[in-house]
């Protein structure tokens, strides 16, 4: 079965993590300081560019020290209650088998900073009282939202590894995959990655897939590759692949994550698979891939990602049986991504209002969005007096009132009636 090499060859021990020797030493010393009691800084804040090994360092460290790692993406647990349910309880209670616990909140950049949601405020409170080590990870620690957290955490910077440090990793991967690689080829890949270890491994897999020997000539063309255009080439390789292996190999060439590639394939499949039977089969494969995608998000079991990738690449490629060749067809940007980008501010407002309804009415935020907000919109558009009373009770700000009222004239009427 096709496997992404970044997952297949993920470091198991701290010694296998590329570069950042000083950062790893600092992190290990801080973890060991918990053996002498609770340190002054109960949390460590790891920061640096994406793809350089921050997350795998924590996972390898937990493995080395036989610690129970409780790991989640902070961007998926953005509300106060969600953070408390996950990290709050875990930070206060011991494990069933007396193993030491380590809590990791990754992708802190993706968490909402809105006060109404309270996610960052909840993390700050947990950090102050944690009874076990907590590690936070972000790309940019100097975002104003993190000013309070920075003062509470041990700040550890991760830097881009040098090409000299990346080459031995690529060499080990080639050895495990049974590939004889020229040193010049590996150096070229490492230098072009510019410190992004994940990108270097992806490039190596794309270039070496199906080969027993990798030469400099095999990789030199990479210098002329435009990464912005690469997604179009990847999609064409998938839609027009003759074999499952060729379609799955294209995945390694994509400079986007599997979730984004899924959206690209889903958007463009109807234009490249014109026969209804072919399209139906491709959509069935994508539907199954989406199920695995949801399971990965829910369980964090990344072994399931290989099934998702197989279905969304080989599954779609093999659906092409009756579609006749046609002229050049342009690739279209995923409309769902465009829509989510355009409506981001509106969705954040709806979420903020839902949190207020949730606290006042003791219901879930999801139910507030689906069942309460549609009726509130009707009230705010047609009954200013009742709207004013509701806005006062829920403590809605003018922006929230504007979202529900729909027009500036309605907002003025409602604001004028609030005591």
Cβ atoms of 356 and 373 within 8 Å: the answer is: no
Asked whether residue 216 is assigned to any structural domain, the reply reads yes
Check residue 140 and give its pLDDT. Answer: 82
Residues 38 and 62 in one domain: yes
Check residue 314 and give its pLDDT. Answer: 92
Kindly report the backbone phi and psi dihedral angles of residue 253, in degrees, each rounded to the nearest multiple of 5, phi listed first: -85, -10
Residues 177 and 241 in one domain: no
C-alpha–C-alpha distance, residues 224 and 163, integer Å: 19
Check residue 50 and give its pLDDT. Answer: 83
Residues 147 and 51 in one domain: yes
Instruction: Give the residue ranges of the chain where pLDDT is below 70.
Output: 1-2, 73-98, 110-119, 221-229, 252-256, 327-328, 337-344
Residues 57 and 147 in one domain: yes
The last residue of one of the domains, among 157, 175, 202, is 157
Asked whether residue 3 is assigned to any structural domain, the reply reads no
C-alpha–C-alpha distance, residues 64 and 262, integer Å: 35
For residue 264, how far is the Cα from the chain centroid?
17
The last residue of one of the domains, among 334, 353, 375, is 334
Asked whether residue 2 is assigned to any structural domain, the reply reads no
Cβ atoms of 387 and 405 within 8 Å: the answer is: yes
pLDDT tens, residue by residue, 318-351:
999 998 877 667 777 777 766 665 566 777 888 8
Check residue 224 and give its pLDDT. Answer: 42
Residues 25 and 153 in one domain: yes
Residues 140 and 253 in one domain: no
Check residue 228 and give its pLDDT. Answer: 45
Asked whether residue 11 is assigned to any structural domain, the reply reads no
- Structural domain including 321 reads 227-334
Question: Which ranges constitute the DSSP H helices of 254-343?
Answer: 258-272, 276-299, 305-310, 316-317, 335-342
Residues 49 and 133 in one domain: yes
Q: How many domains does the chain have?
A: 4
């Amino acid at each position: 079965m096709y496997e992404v090499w970044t997952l297949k060859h993920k470091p198991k021990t701290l010694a296998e993590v590329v570069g950042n020797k000083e950062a790893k030493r600092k992190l290990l010393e801080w973890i060991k300081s918990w053996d002498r009691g609770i340190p002054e800084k109960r949390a460590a804040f790891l920061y640096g560019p994406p793809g350089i090994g921050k997350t795998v360092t924590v996972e390898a460290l937990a493995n080395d020290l036989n610690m129970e790692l409780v790991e989640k993406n902070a961007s998926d647990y953005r509300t106060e209650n969600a953070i408390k349910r996950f990290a709050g309880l875990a930070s206060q209670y011991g494990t069933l088998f007396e193993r030491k616990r380590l809590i990791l909140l990754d992708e802190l950049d993706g968490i909402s900073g809105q006060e109404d949601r309270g996610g960052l405020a909840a993390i700050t409170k947990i950090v102050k009282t944690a009874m076990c080590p907590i590690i936070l990870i972000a790309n940019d620690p100097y975002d104003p939202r993190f000013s309070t957290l920075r003062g509470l955490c041990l700040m550890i910077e991760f830097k881009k590894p040098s090409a000299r440090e990346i080459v031995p990793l690529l060499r080990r991967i080639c050895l495990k995959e049974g590939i004889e690689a020229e040193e010049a080829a590996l150096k070229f890949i490492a230098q072009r990655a510019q410190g992004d270890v994940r990108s270097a491994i992806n490039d190596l897999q794309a270039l070496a897939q199906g080969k027993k020997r990798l030469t400099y000539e095999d990789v030199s063309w990479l210098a002329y590759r435009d990464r912005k255009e690469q997604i179009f080439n990847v999609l064409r390789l998938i839609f027009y692949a003759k074999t499952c292996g060729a379609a799955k190999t294209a995945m390694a060439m994509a400079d986007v994550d599997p979730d984004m590639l899924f959206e690209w394939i889903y958007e463009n499949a109807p234009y490249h698979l014109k026969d209804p039977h072919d399209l139906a089969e491709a959509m069935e494969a994508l539907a199954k891939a989406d199920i695995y995608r949801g399971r990965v998000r829910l369980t964090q079991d990344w072994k399931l990602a290989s099934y998702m990738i197989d279905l969304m690449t080989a599954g779609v490629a093999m659906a092409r049986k009756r579609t006749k060749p046609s002229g050049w067809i342009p690739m279209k940007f995923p409309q769902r991504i465009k829509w989510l980008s355009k409506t981001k501010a509106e969705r954040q407002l709806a979420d903020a209002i839902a949190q207020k309804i949730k606290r006042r009415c003791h219901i879930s935020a999801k139910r507030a969005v689906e069942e309460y907000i549609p009726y509130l919109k009707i009230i705010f558009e047609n009954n200013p007096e009742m709207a004013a009373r509701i806005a006062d009770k829920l403590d809605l700000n003018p922006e929230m009132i504007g979202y529900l009222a729909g027009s500036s004239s309605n907002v003025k009427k409602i604001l004028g009636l609030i005591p």
